Amino acid sequence: MRELARRETPAKASPSLDAGSGAGSLAAMPDQAAGSRERPPDTRDRRSLLKRSRRTKIVATLGPASDTPEMIAKLFHAGADVFRLNMSHLAREKLPEKVEVIRAVEREAKRPIAILVDLQGPKLRLGTFAEGAAMIENGATFVLDADPAPGNAERVHLPHPEILQALEPGHAILVDDGKLRLTVTEAEAGRAVTRVEVGGRISNRKGVSLPHTVIPLPAMTDKDRSDLEAGLNAGADWIAVSFVQRPEDVAEVKKVAAGRALVMAKIEKPQALSRLEEIIEISDGLMVARGDLGVEMPLEQVPGVQKRITRASRRLGKPVVVATQMLESMITAPVPTRAEVSDVATAVYEGADAVMLSAESASGAFPVEAITTMSRIAEQVERDQLYWSIIRAQSSTPDHTAADAIAAAAHQMVDALDLTAIMAWTHSGSTALRLSRERPNATVIALTPKRETARRLAMAWGTHPIVTKDASDVDDMASRACKFAVRERFADVGDRVIVVAGVPFGTPGATNLVRIAFVTREHAERA
């Protein structure tokens, strides 16, 4: 039985360009090497220290605490694989500048970095009050209406006519992140009468959440459309869509993106859960936005929903990110609580592709420490034998396609032959994603001629993307795969690696070949 965890040693530095590749091609530094055989340390290049010893990726949100090129570089070196740009707080005009800073870090490190642009989505808010605020008592009647006049303790303007049309008796209305709770007793065009279930101070422009109401609003506002175009033009790799309620919300963004970036659906509204399978099918990835889910549904239900989304995404082969309040106390403290450590570990045990930091890295006092802590937690979990038993217990039956059958076969070959690397030639990234879905105890080294594909794959579990020219024939495919396996320190002379590809080369989605290749001395010399 193969050893489930092996000690890591610093990796050999990789040349920045593959021999014969086009000028400026990016060859990734070693990544995701948990489970690889030991290699003698190479101290000739400080970049060898960048080798990750985990498969789970880390998403870091940028903000005031991580606004400088120096801090962004520190976050990457600490373990961030993906940088999130939150358009709720980032001015559109500054987006290209932030992207270029990240690309500069990428060029220096010679490893692909994914950029996630997170659209704000519709923001539902109350109008204003005559005195700036009012007190509403439990059991009192409170009216939301279309009258723009300043409100009081009896009524307030709700500047969203579509909400007033959609509300029905019995629907809950949550105000100020759920601090106040109202229940609709009467609803008519332009007016909703509510009973105050949980009262308190209600003030200007507080946010409104509607857990029971399907709101006839598109997921994209005019601001989102402008931000989306700005993100695509700046070179974003992933676009996150907020306020998703139905698959059509994702389809709208995908139509605009037109393949220029992958689209991730944020599951933050209970309404999305009733059509979850459809939303996953049309999306390129999912994010479990636990903060908003926790406002709009009972808190005790959120952990189960997290597991449901994670497992459904894995089953369909879509990367899934677990987000919100993962190390919340590290906004102000240099160490997390034990409960937060357990929370991050649970997401890793479930096989999430990535875990995300929000305010911890964007505005907290200890952004580097937060990244380092999250990385250490993931590393420790992935060394636990229980981790692999959980991962394998959740494996799903391959789809009835040649590509999925080959990915499943490659996984079985890894176990049978005790191999540490699957060399996946991929154009669109689909081959690598299929292999990642299998969660093999081997690193998926994705060899691609497209820089954009390599960056997108930085989000996927267990992948180590490298940009290189496409293979010319089957012999070249195997030979260069062996060379990269040695260069990236996943194999040595006499080892075997699995090579997965599609023939003819350069045809997206045509995975139809799997081969076992032996690493020779010639491969090592060419590396």
pLDDT tens-digit series, residues 65-107: 999 999 999 999 999 999 999 999 999 999 999 999 999 999 9
Provide CATH 3.20.20.60 ranges for the chain. 57-122+219-392
**Which residues are bridge partners to 497 per DSSP?**
517
Q: Is the pLDDT of residue 412 over 90?
A: yes
Give catalytic residues, as residue numbers: 84, 125, 266, 324
User: 300-314: per-residue pLDDT in tens?
Assistant: 999 999 999 999 999
Q: CATH code for 46-52+395-526?
A: 3.40.1380.20
Q: Please report which confidence band the pLDDT of residue 282 belongs to, taking 50, 70 and 90 as the band edges.
A: very high
User: 145-199: per-residue pLDDT in tens?
Assistant: 999 999 999 999 999 999 999 999 999 999 998 999 999 999 998 999 999 999 9
The 10 Å Cβ neighbour count of residue 169 is 12
**Predicted pLDDT at 20:** 34
Q: Please report which confidence band the pLDDT of residue 370 belongs to, taking 50, 70 and 90 as the band edges.
A: very high
Q: Is the pLDDT of residue 32 over 90?
A: no
Q: CATH code for 133-209?
A: 2.40.33.10
Indicate the average pLDDT of the chain.
89
**Predicted pLDDT at 6:** 36
Tokens of 67: 């606004």
Q: Is the pLDDT of residue 8 over 80?
A: no
| Average pLDDT of span 207-221 | 89
Q: Is the pLDDT of residue 36 over 80?
A: no
| Average pLDDT of span 321-341 | 97
How far is the C-alpha of 114 from the C-alpha of 116, rounded, in Å?
Answer: 7
| Average pLDDT of span 200-223 | 92
Q: Please report which confidence band the pLDDT of residue 39 belongs to, taking 50, 70 and 90 as the band edges.
A: very low
Q: Is the pLDDT of residue 367 over 80?
A: yes
**Predicted pLDDT at 481:** 95
- Which of 38, 1, 2, 56 lies closest to 382, judged by CA? 56
- Which of 389, 321, 378 lies closest to 352, judged by CA? 321
| Average pLDDT of span 320-346 | 97
**Predicted pLDDT at 402:** 83
**Predicted pLDDT at 401:** 85
Provide CATH 3.40.1380.20 ranges for the chain. 46-52+395-526
User: 482-513: per-residue pLDDT in tens?
Assistant: 999 999 889 999 999 999 998 777 677 678 88
**Predicted pLDDT at 289:** 95
- Give the position of tokens 């996630």: 116
Q: Please report which confidence band the pLDDT of residue 218 belongs to, taking 50, 70 and 90 as the band edges.
A: confident
Q: Is the pLDDT of residue 461 over 90?
A: yes
Pairing of the two strands 354-357 and 57-61: parallel
| Average pLDDT of span 205-233 | 93
- Which of 373, 377, 370 lies closest to 347, judged by CA? 377
**Predicted pLDDT at 155:** 97
Q: Please report which confidence band the pLDDT of residue 23 belongs to, taking 50, 70 and 90 as the band edges.
A: very low
Better-scored residue on pLDDT, 376 or 402: 376
**Predicted pLDDT at 51:** 60
Q: At what angle do helices 338-349 and 385-393 cross, to 10 degrees?
A: 50
How far is the C-alpha of 94 from the C-alpha of 104, rounded, in Å?
Answer: 16
Q: What percent of the chain has pLDDT over 70?
A: 90
**Alpha-carbon distances, residue 425 vs 325, 469, 481 (angstroms):** 37, 10, 8
Better-scored residue on pLDDT, 29 or 475: 475
How far is the C-alpha of 279 from the C-alpha of 266, rounded, in Å?
Answer: 10
Provide CATH 2.40.33.10 ranges for the chain. 133-209
Q: Is the pLDDT of residue 11 over 60?
A: no
Q: Is the pLDDT of residue 288 over 90?
A: yes
Q: Is the pLDDT of residue 27 over 90?
A: no
**Predicted pLDDT at 214:** 87
Specify the CATH architecture of the domain 57-122+219-392: Alpha-Beta Barrel (3.20)
| Average pLDDT of span 351-364 | 97
**Predicted pLDDT at 525:** 86
Which residues make Cβ contacts (< 8 Å) with residue 498, sequence separation at least 6? 410, 413, 414, 419, 421, 422, 423, 442, 514, 515, 516, 517
pTM of the predicted protein model:
0.87
**Predicted pLDDT at 35:** 39
Q: What share of the chain is helix, strand, coil (3-state, %, to 5)?
A: 35, 20, 40
**Predicted pLDDT at 121:** 93
> Do the beta carbons of residue 462 and residue 474 sit within 8 Å?
no
